[in-house]
Amino acid sequence: MKLQQSFWSNVRSRLKYWCKKTIVAMIVVTLSINLCGATWNQLGTNSVLISVLAQGNAITDPEAILRYALPIDNEPIRKVQDAIEDISNHLRGKRWPPIAKDVKRASFVLTLRSDEILDGVPSDRQSQAETILEDIKTGVSELQEAVENKDKEEVWIKRRNVLDNIGNIESLMVKGFPFEIPEEYADLPQLKGRATVEIETTKGNLTIVVDGYNAPVNGGNFIDLVQRGFYDGLSFIDLEDSFAIQTGNPPGEEEGFIDPETGEYRAVPLEVRVKDDQEPIYGATLEEMGIYLPELVLPFNAYGAVALARPSLDPNGGSSQFFFFKFDSELTPPGFNLMDGRYSVFGYLVDGEDVLEDLTKKDKIISAKVIDGLNNLVEPKNS
């Protein structure tokens, strides 16, 4: 089950080959729809058709992905978030008119629909939400002033502060766990919410937010192993072309976690949630299920996406090994993310990008600790 360089080299080659063939097919479709029948049959009608239609800009900020991944349904706060998030698309180029428009949109919603935002928060959290909402309004006003002054640095800072508060009020809106986890996974730890893990390495610290709302089985497995101290002292594996770095392989012959209570290898399933689906898909890659280039709640778009490693031929053979994905434009171009649905993301690096970039196979984990959200871990029923 070890995902060493030879395996990752094969994965990368296969994905790049698939992508190239798809692009060729797209060109053929453009030039002559009447000549593409043979290629259509070779590649699969659905995959090529959806590839032709795939478009859009990918969200690459891990914290933005995590905000959008919260299981809430409150249109006005999402409109405010959308407007403030969009500023980053224009700020690097100092495109001030669309930035001003974004801030104005956010201010308009906050002025007219504050009551609707607060209505999305349970009554026992209303007081806290009201305070945060006032902070958001103040922050948007300060942001508007920074935009008027065309102060790029100040806009970045104010934007971040506003988004942090938006994330805080959105977290208050979450009402319970959003779906029932299949009973067949009741013997595995489950994370019914979010948790934050700090990993101390020989190069520095990494902070990960694990999202149990969308990957409760993979997330629960990881948090359980962190809590057991399983990862302490384990080395990293620097993978092919340094597009990912992996860890979690225990010393000795075993390639995953052996449950001391049962003496058996803990096998963890592939777990992927497609946007707008009620619950994750388990046990098979999306490609195997005929779902091509999906929009996922937890995509590989961000640098430092954390995902479960697994054997190449067994979607349900993951265990303790996981990897940090270093954003790769060839594997994750907008609309053509070739990693999504083949491996399951369960969290994101939110602090320590420079540390992750420097890690090699000569480094190791000194310790891993759950610093927040341990109360969301649900132990297996048979434990």
If you search the block for the tokens 């990912």, which residue do you land on?
Answer: 244
Do both 84 and 146 map to the same domain? yes
**pLDDT for the residue numbered 370:** 98
**pLDDT for the residue numbered 85:** 97
Number of domains in the chain: 2
Nearest CA among 10, 19, 9 for reference residue 43: 19
Instruction: Indicate whether 373 belongs to any domain.
Output: yes
Q: How many residues does the chain have?
A: 383
Domain boundary among 173, 199, 232: 173
**pLDDT for the residue numbered 9:** 54
Do both 162 and 71 map to the same domain? yes
Residue 84 token pair? 């403030």
Do both 360 and 217 map to the same domain? yes
**pLDDT for the residue numbered 293:** 81
CB atoms within 10 A of CB 172: 18
Instruction: Indicate whether 45 belongs to any domain.
Output: no
CATH number, domain with residue 118: 1.20.120.290
**pLDDT for the residue numbered 53:** 41
**pLDDT for the residue numbered 165:** 98
Do both 252 and 214 map to the same domain? yes
Q: Which residue numbers in the chain have pLDDT < 70?
A: 1-56, 240-241, 328-330, 334-335, 382-383
**pLDDT for the residue numbered 334:** 64
**pLDDT for the residue numbered 313:** 87
Contact partners, residue 157, CB within 8 Å, separation at least 6: none
The range of the structural domain enclosing residue 235 comes to: 183-378
Do both 275 and 315 map to the same domain? yes
Do both 169 and 194 map to the same domain? no
Instruction: Indicate whether 357 belongs to any domain.
Output: yes
For the chain, helix, strand, coil in percent to 5 are 45, 15, 40
**pLDDT for the residue numbered 275:** 94
Contact partners, residue 53, CB within 8 Å, separation at least 6: none
Do both 146 and 206 map to the same domain? no
Q: In angstroms, rounded to a whole number, what is the distance separating the alpha carbons of residues 253 and 265?
A: 12
